[in-house]
Amino acid sequence: MSLFILLDYASVLVFALTGALVASRAQLDIVGFCFLASLAAVGGGTLRDVLLDRNPVFWLENPIYLGVACGAAVLVFFTAHLLESRYRVLLWLDAFALAIAVAAGSGVAQSLDQSAPVVIVMGIITGSMGGLMRDVVSNEVPLVLKQGELYVTCAFAGSAATVLASQIDLSPAIVAIACASVTFILRAGSLAFGWKLPAYKSRPPSA
Q: Nearest to residue 145, comparing CAs of 160, 161, 128?
A: 128
Where does this chain bind a second copy (CB under 8 A)?
Answer: 23-24, 26-36, 38, 46, 50-53, 55-57, 60, 63, 66-67, 77, 80-81, 86, 114-115, 117-118, 121, 124, 132, 136-139, 141-142, 144-145, 147, 150, 152-153, 156, 196-204
Q: Which is nearer to a second copy, 5 or 51 (CB)?
A: 51
Q: Which is nearer to a second copy, 102 or 124 (CB)?
A: 124
How far apart, in Å, do the first and last CA atoms of the chain sit?
56
Which uninterrupted H or E stretch holds 99? helix 86-111
Q: Which is nearer to a second copy, 153 or 170 (CB)?
A: 153
Min CB(30)–a second copy separation in Å: 6
**Cis-peptide, bond into residue 56, ω within 30° of zero:** yes
Q: Nearest to residue 45, comparing CAs of 140, 126, 129?
A: 126
Min CB(1)–a second copy separation in Å: 20
CA 169 to CA 190: how far, in whole Å?
30
Tell me the three state secondary structure of residue 207.
coil
Q: Which is nearer to a second copy, 15 or 156 (CB)?
A: 156
Min CB(102)–a second copy separation in Å: 14
CA 159 to CA 65: how far, in whole Å?
24
Min CB(206)–a second copy separation in Å: 12
